[in-house]
Amino acid sequence: MDRVLVETDARGVATVTLNRPEVHNAIDDVSIAELTKTLERLAGDASVRVLVLTGAGASFSAGADLNWMRRMGGFSPAENLADAMGLAAMLRRLNDFPKPTVARVNGAAFAGGVGLISCCDIAVASTEAVFSVSEVRYGLVPGTIGPYLVAAIGSRVARRLFQTAERFSADEARRIGLVHEAAPRAELDALVEKFVAMLLEGGAQAQAVSKRLAIDLAHRDVDDAVLRSTSQASADARAGAEGREGTTAFLEKRKPSWRR
């Protein structure tokens, strides 16, 4: 059975589903390799406009498979580091995915599952979902997910959740910035579609550059180098084919070519 499923609709919306419902979509080395290859393939597919990440069954993802963690405990330090780097590389690939990403959090999200959410641009959750950064309960640490979770919720909140491993609700996840909106499970697809429709109205190249800007500018001083690089990004967009088409379409009161 494939551990990662992909379905792409006619609009270019690719839904990637973690497919281990029997273990609450826990991820292991095989899942990580499949997800990494999937992200690489979709990143290079010009027909894909938006990626939606979700889980099969009742849960989003329980994080790392503890059987896998136990197996890794018997590996050498070098083998363990290489294995952890595989997970870290997958998370970075999701975080840096060059197209808009939406986490559809259909149920519980623990540990690495919370990390996956943090790597997506937009996150919406079922109000029935529960969350936990649970690693310390098992004598583990949220190392690979740490950079993305701190970026999503801030250092102060992360310091609490990293150490308490407490469970919290979708409402609390929204309050701290882990998810943007929440809705009852029956309304979750409509909420996802609301964001997908907005994303499809944007220019693909402009979105890729804008996303990179948001990542690169976090916590940077507005120095001469930042002024130069951001001005260059704006200038390139104005002179590019997509920028010219978008502004012309607005002035001519028509849809730009990328909107159907």
Q: How far apart are CA 57 and CA 39, in angstroms?
A: 21
Range of the domain at 212: 204-251
The reply to whether 93 and 158 lie within a common domain is yes
What is the C-alpha end-to-end distance of the chain, expressed in Å?
Answer: 35
- Residue 134: inside a domain, yes or no? yes
pLDDT of residue 173: 98
The reply to whether 128 and 211 lie within a common domain is no
Ramachandran class of 57: left when φ > 0, alpha when ψ lies in -120 to 50, beta otherwise = left
The reply to whether 194 and 212 lie within a common domain is no
- Residue 24: inside a domain, yes or no? yes
The answer to whether residues 94 and 39 touch, using CB atoms and an 8 Å cutoff, is yes
- Residue 68: inside a domain, yes or no? yes
The reply to whether 169 and 100 lie within a common domain is yes
Question: Total domain count for the chain?
Answer: 2
The reply to whether 89 and 25 lie within a common domain is yes
- Residue 78: inside a domain, yes or no? yes
pLDDT of residue 51: 98
- Residue 260: inside a domain, yes or no? no
- Residue 150: inside a domain, yes or no? yes
The answer to whether residues 148 and 158 touch, using CB atoms and an 8 Å cutoff, is no
Domain boundary, last residue among 184, 200, 216? 200
115 closest CA partner among 83, 147, 72: 147
pLDDT of residue 251: 77
pTM equals 0.91
The reply to whether 13 and 67 lie within a common domain is yes
- Residue 173: inside a domain, yes or no? yes
pLDDT of residue 13: 98
The reply to whether 54 and 132 lie within a common domain is yes
Domain boundary, last residue among 159, 183, 200? 200
Beta bridge partners of 55: 18
Q: How far apart are CA 167 and CA 137, in angstroms?
A: 12
User: CATH number for the domain including 106?
Assistant: 3.90.226.10
- Residue 187: inside a domain, yes or no? yes
The reply to whether 10 and 93 lie within a common domain is yes
Residue 194 CA from chain centroid, whole number? 17
Mean pLDDT by 10 residues, the chain (260 residues): 95 98 95 97 97 98 87 81 89 97 98 97 98 92 92 96 97 98 98 98 95 88 71 70 78 85
The reply to whether 152 and 215 lie within a common domain is no
The reply to whether 215 and 191 lie within a common domain is no
Q: How far apart are CA 126 and CA 113, in angstroms?
A: 14
The reply to whether 196 and 219 lie within a common domain is no
The reply to whether 131 and 66 lie within a common domain is yes
pLDDT of residue 234: 65
Domain boundary, last residue among 200, 219, 235? 200
Sequence letter at residue 16: V
